[in-house]
Amino acid sequence: MQGLFWFTVLTDCSDLRRTRKLRNLINNSGLIMSDASYRDAIFSTPLDKVARFSFDEQVVACFPDMIRRSVPGYGQILGMLSLIAQRHLRHGAHVYDLGCSLGASGLALAGAMPADAFRYTGVDLSPAMVGKARQTFLEECPDHAMRVEEADIRTLKYAPSGMIILNFTLQFLPPADRDALLARLYAALEPGGVLILSEKTVDADERDNAWRVERYHDFKRANGYSDLEISQKRTALENVLVPDTLEALHERLKQAGFPRSMTWFQYLNFASLIAFKP
Ligand code: GEK
């Protein structure tokens, strides 16, 4: 009887912890990563020649700060992931997080769901990202089934999955490679499975696009980036991050086989879509 009491108390405590973490995520635009990362100052001094952006050690060291200050709504998207997962995932289903970087989506899921609720595989091409993500999962959620693979998501052999997360990654693939990947993800999803696709977007209308980009730069300035940093980062990302329009993203999903997709979140020129496999 006493044992049952403690079991109930302990279960309630961890439920409470999960609820707090989740509430924190939804209401703040920050990350739940407990280690404070370095402040992103990569483009803060004038560079003779701005090199193409790459996910190297320097970026990994300041990545949580960089993404939090550069992607409007990043924390809110992470927070909603687990609420979406809890509605759509069957118990114990497999989840992919493609282009997982430091595994923030995995941490968000593990922070909100019990260890046996899902199995997670993060995939990233950057060895520095993969190494740090593995270490974070070991430290933060050793009881959850969290794997991280170093691989190219275009050539990976996919296991059947209930949910696939593609958060701010498709935009880094050459546009010609995007449809083939989405078709393979549709095939990998189990019936009833969902794909979450979050991307930076561009407007077809020039005036709308200019307005959104200008307000986005205001957002970055308000988050402490200087005009020099904004302009050098923009140069570094040219032809590396190639955004689609929202309409093109929905069309790609349709071509890939998804009969239904919707934009569930939008903040300036960043959006998150959900696509359903019947
Ligand atoms: C997050 N989802 O924190 N195969 C595997 N990984 C790739 C590939 C590829 N072909 N191309 C790029 N990447 C994360 C954020 S960041 C977005 C994603 C950003 C990886 C790349 O190494 C990087 O870690 C990630 O995709 C993109 O929610 O930095 O704006």
Give the span between the Cα atoms of 264 and 275, in whole angstroms. 10
What's the CA-to-centroid distance between 247 and ligand 1, angstroms?
A: 22
The reply to whether 213 falls in a domain is no
The reply to whether 224 falls in a domain is no
**Ligand 1 contact via 152 beta carbon (within 6 Å):** yes
Q: What is the pLDDT of residue 227?
A: 83
Which residue CA neighbors atom 13 of ligand 1 most closely?
99
**Ligand 1 contact via 167 beta carbon (within 6 Å):** yes
Nearest to 275 by CA among 250, 255, 243: 250
Which residue CA neighbors atom 8 of ligand 1 most closely?
125
**Ligand 1 contact via 272 beta carbon (within 6 Å):** no
- Backbone φ and ψ for 98, nearest 5 degrees, come out as -95, 125
Its pTM surpasses 0.85: yes
The reply to whether 3 falls in a domain is no
Question: Containing domain of residue 48, as a range?
Answer: 13-204+238-276
Ligand 1 atom nearest to 129, measured from its CA = 24
The reply to whether 226 falls in a domain is no
The reply to whether 214 falls in a domain is no
44: left (phi over 0), alpha (psi -120 to 50) or beta: alpha
Q: How many domains does the chain have?
A: 1
pLDDT in tens, 80-108: 999 999 999 999 999 999 999 999 999 99
Tokens of 158: 């996919």
What's the CA-to-centroid distance between 12 and ligand 1, angstroms?
A: 36
Q: What is the pLDDT of residue 32?
A: 40
**Ligand 1 contact via 59 beta carbon (within 6 Å):** no
CATH number, domain with residue 170: 3.40.50.150
**Ligand 1 contact via 67 beta carbon (within 6 Å):** yes
Ligand 1 atom nearest to 126, measured from its CA = 22
pLDDT in tens, 114-144: 999 999 999 999 999 999 999 999 999 999 9
Which residue CA neighbors atom 28 of ligand 1 most closely?
167
What's the CA-to-centroid distance between 92 and ligand 1, angstroms?
A: 25
Query: Please, what is the angle between helix 2-27 and helix 74-88, to 10°?
Result: 140
Q: Tokens 């970026």 — which residue?
A: 59
What's the CA-to-centroid distance between 73 and ligand 1, angstroms?
A: 17
For the chain, which residues score pLDDT lower than 50? Answer: 1-2, 5-9, 11, 26-35
Measuring CA to CA, how many Å separate 116 from each of 61, 136, 145?
31, 19, 8
